[in-house]
Amino acid sequence: MPRTNALIFLWFLLMIFSAGCSVLKPGTKKKAFVKGADIGWLQQMEATGYKFYNDDGKEEDCFKILKDHGINTIRLRTWVNPSDNRASGHNSKAETVAMAVRAQKWGMRVMINFHYSDSWADPGKQKKPAAWEGHDFPQLLKDVYDYTYDVMSDLKTAGVTPEWVQVGNEIPGGMIYPEGSVKNWPQLAQLINQGHDAIKAVSPRSKFILHLDRGNDSELFKTWFDNAKAHGAKYDIIGLSYYPYWLPGKPDYTLSIDDLGKNMNDLVARYAKEVMVVEVGGEDTKPQNTYDMLVAVIQKVKAVPGGKGLGVIYWEPQGARSWSRYNLSAWGDDGRPTKALDAFLIK
């Protein structure tokens, strides 16, 4: 090669190398795809004597079993003043912090889910905490800020920095009824923003999630997030639930999975936000079907353009029906995970 050409070639290689170095700066490495489990029942399952077994039938810590099945993220709900009912209570601030510490010790990433209730909040009910009943709206704004700040501060004191925090759980109709209903979007946006500001005041790096159910319903999400934008609601990530079992007629996932994918792609394009399936589940008695559904959901999330599909979280995979009476876990009557959980092992 002539000397001039050789010098040009070396210069070209140097430019490629320099460009590569500028792209791969420290701290820019993309984080692992979220493979998660919401395990709010775990403490009480253990407290009441439930035993967890691995695939070989050996008793093990549930965290180890989950980790051995690819789970790298734990989602935890927190309730204001819950009862001691084993299935519909607990998840107090202290219990949530203790579980978050435990998750972190297992090397798990942590998501905290504020329900702003004393028990379940979901599309069918968004009952405000009993201690907040009778408060006027300015006081409710303060309640949300103070409670959120308090929980986040205790997490920080315990050495836990949640990577994600949710304000409200499945809130297509709003939260903290009636003041925070979507019938009054200006007030709902203010409540959301109080949660947002309290979270960021304690943990600026935590990503803020708003979460709706029916992840395959594009019109629902478009209407809701158009309103969120119009009223100045702050958020970083759009969270979706996807439960084919609860769709009308209990249709097979193959009838709605493409709609889930299209909705996520549309959300990213329309609002320039990241998306995550923060709840998913399938029938425990049909582990192969649930496995296939999970694989399909993971593929759809990974296919979201620009790497903006962050991951998938199974809701109470360890919540065995024999203990919880819940039929969408990924655990069998033998105390072992079903084949469904193996979906998270796929690279």
In a domain, 167, yes or no: yes
Q: Is the pLDDT of residue 3 over 70?
A: no
Give the model's confidence band at 249: pLDDT under 50 very low, under 70 low, under 90 confident, else very high: confident
Mean pLDDT (the chain, rounded): 93
Catalytic residue among 95, 179, 274, 279: 279
Element (H, E) at 225: helix 218-230
Enclosing domain of residue 317: 34-345
Q: How far apart are CA 180 and CA 121, in angstroms?
A: 13
The mean per-residue pLDDT over the stretch 210-223 comes to 98
Domain of residue 98, CATH code: 3.20.20.80
In a domain, 114, yes or no: yes
Give the model's confidence band at 32: pLDDT under 50 very low, under 70 low, under 90 confident, else very high: very high
Global confidence as pTM: 0.91
In a domain, 71, yes or no: yes
Give the model's confidence band at 179: pLDDT under 50 very low, under 70 low, under 90 confident, else very high: very high
Query: Under DSSP, is residue 231 helix (H, G, I), strand (E, B) or coil?
Result: coil
Catalytic residue among 95, 170, 179, 274: 170
pLDDT tens digit string along 301-324? 999 999 999 999 999 999 999 999
Q: Is the pLDDT of residue 11 over 90?
A: no
In a domain, 10, yes or no: no
Say whether 219 is catalytic. no
Element (H, E) at 315: strand 309-315
Task: Count how many domains the chain has.
Answer: 1
Say whether 179 is catalytic. no
Q: Which residue has the tokens 């549930």?
A: 62
In a domain, 26, yes or no: no
In a domain, 210, yes or no: yes
In a domain, 205, yes or no: yes
